[in-house]
């Protein structure tokens, strides 16, 4: 099994390619209200699985608030971002691809 990789703004990630599977997992935490990624998109679907805290997601033209136990989908090629509303925030973001590909729009 591969080691957990460290990335800015994330606790770490494991790519599907490292594990021989088609899913990449990002471990996201924040202690700052208002934090979150800028608007971006991926060429594959992304699922946000919220474990603690709350966040407001902007997915295309939709605005969705989510909290513990919620799963929010960011469809392939649809611009999205989120902002943390309640801390501590913890989530697992599942990128349905063997590698993490992101195109930033902001």
Residuewise pLDDT in 10s, the chain (106 residues): 344 444 444 456 777 777 777 899 899 999 999 999 999 999 999 999 999 999 999 999 999 999 999 999 999 999 999 999 999 999 999 999 999 999 999 9
Residue 51: CB atoms within 10 Å: 16
Is-contact 80 74, C-beta < 8 A? Answer: yes
The whole-model pTM stands at 0.83
Tokens, residue 91: 């989530």
Q: Report the CATH number of the 26-95 domain.
A: 2.60.120.10
CA dihedral (51, 57, 59, 63) positive or negative: positive
Instruction: Look up residue 1 and give its DSSP letter.
Output: -
- Nearest Cα neighbor of 49 from 106, 93, 99 is 93
What backbone phi and psi angles, to 5 degrees, belong to 16? -60, -35
């Amino acid at each position: 099994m591969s080691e957990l990789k460290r990335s800015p703004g994330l606790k770490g990630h494991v790519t599907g390619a490292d594990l021989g599977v088609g899913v990449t997992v990002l471990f996201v935490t924040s202690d700052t209200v208002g934090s979150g990624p800028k608007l971006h998109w991926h060429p594959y679907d992304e699922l946000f699985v919220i474990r603690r805290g709350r966040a407001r997601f902007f997915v295309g033209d939709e605005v969705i608030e989510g909290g513990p136990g919620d799963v929010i989908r960011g469809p392939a090629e649809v611009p999205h971002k989120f902002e943390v509303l309640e801390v501590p925030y913890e989530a697992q973001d599942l990128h349905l691809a063997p590698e993490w590909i992101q195109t930033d729009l902001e």
